[in-house]
């Protein structure tokens, strides 16, 4: 290997210069896809968690500043893509309807949160 002088006058082997490390922060988002469509992401998990808390799609939507219609469409889409429904809905009457998470719904929240935790651990390796 050939040696050369640096501007400082020190002799170094070619390729031995210490490269300055570029400071960066690795980032990313986690989502799950099924049949080429987004199945689960942060917003949908948040909606499911709030449906579990409030027992209502309308209340969950309000707490997220989301329209009831959009929340309902998200729930329908998730239920369509899931092997079994994530949310069971009862249409309302005078007192309004209610909704509850199924075991599948609770399971997908846990699965997504675990995947997210592992992803963030992976990203920490680059910090």
CATH of the domain at 86: 1.10.10.10
- Residue in the structure block whose two tokens are 């949310």: 87
pLDDT at 97: 77
- Total domain count for the chain? 1
Closest CA to 98 of 109, 112, 88: 88
* Res 14: pLDDT: 59
Write down the pTM of the prediction. Answer: 0.76
pLDDT, tens only, 11-65: 656 555 555 666 777 888 999 998 888 899 999 999 999 999 999 999 999 999 9
Whole-angstrom Cα distance, residue 26 to residue 121? Answer: 11
pLDDT digits (tens, 9 = 90+) for 81-127: 999 999 999 877 666 779 999 999 999 999 999 999 999 999 888 76
The alpha-helical segments, DSSP class H, found in the chain are 42-54, 57-63, 68-81, 103-124
Asked if the structure places residue 16 within a domain, the reply is no
Residue 66 domain-assigned (yes or no) = yes
């Amino acid at each position: 290997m050939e040696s050369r002088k640096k501007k400082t006058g020190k002799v170094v082997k070619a390729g031995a210069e210490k490269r300055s490390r570029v400071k960066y922060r690795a980032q990313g988002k986690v989502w799950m896809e099924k049949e080429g469509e987004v199945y689960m992401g942060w917003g949908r998990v948040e909606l499911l968690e709030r449906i579990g808390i409030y027992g209502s799609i309308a209340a969950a939507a309000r707490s997220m500043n989301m329209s009831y219609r959009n929340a309902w469409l998200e729930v329908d889409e998730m239920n369509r893509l899931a092997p079994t429904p994530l949310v069971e809905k009862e249409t309302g009457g005078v007192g309004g309807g209610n909704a509850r998470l199924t075991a599948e719904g609770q399971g997908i929240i846990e699965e997504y949160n675990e995947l997210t935790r592992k992803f963030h651990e992976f990203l920490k390796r680059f910090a």
